[in-house]
Amino acid sequence: MSFIVYMTASTPEEARSIGKELVSQNLAACINIFPNVESIYKWEGEVQSAHEVVLIAKTSEDKVTALTQAVRKLHSYDVPCIVSLPITGGNPEFLSWIEHETR
């Protein structure tokens, strides 16, 4: 089964660095980067906002744990957003490509 992993980063440079590392280690087949996202969140009891960068990784189920561990080591945040979601349908050829690229 393939998974989408949603993450945020503090800057485009951090997002690119994380993305390149994940792909080069075969932890993700592809990373999409969406710059300049505004996030509103509660941290340490206060509502805050920040401009962040969203990363979406396509990976296989057996790589989700290793991908999460790698991002935690590479990330500048104390508690980075890393959320994995199973892909329950889609283009079979694309899903096969994800599995092939993350072996």
Residues 33-68: tens digit of each pLDDT: 999 999 999 999 999 999 999 999 999 999 999 999
pLDDT of residue 49: 97
Q: Which of 21, 19, 20, 3 is nearest to 54 (CA)?
A: 19
pLDDT of residue 69: 98
State pTM to two decimals: 0.94
pLDDT category, 89, cuts 50, 70, 90? Answer: very high
> pLDDT (tens digit, 9 = 90+) per residue, 66-80?
999 999 999 999 999
23: phi then psi, degrees, rounded to nearest 5: -70, -40
pLDDT of residue 15: 98
Indicate the pairing of strand 2-9 with strand 46-60: antiparallel
| Cα distance between residue 13 and residue 46, in whole Å | 27
pLDDT of residue 81: 97
| Cα distance between residue 67 and residue 90, in whole Å | 22
| Cα distance between residue 53 and residue 15, in whole Å | 7
**Within 13 Å of residue 7, how many CA atoms lie on the same side as its CB?**
35
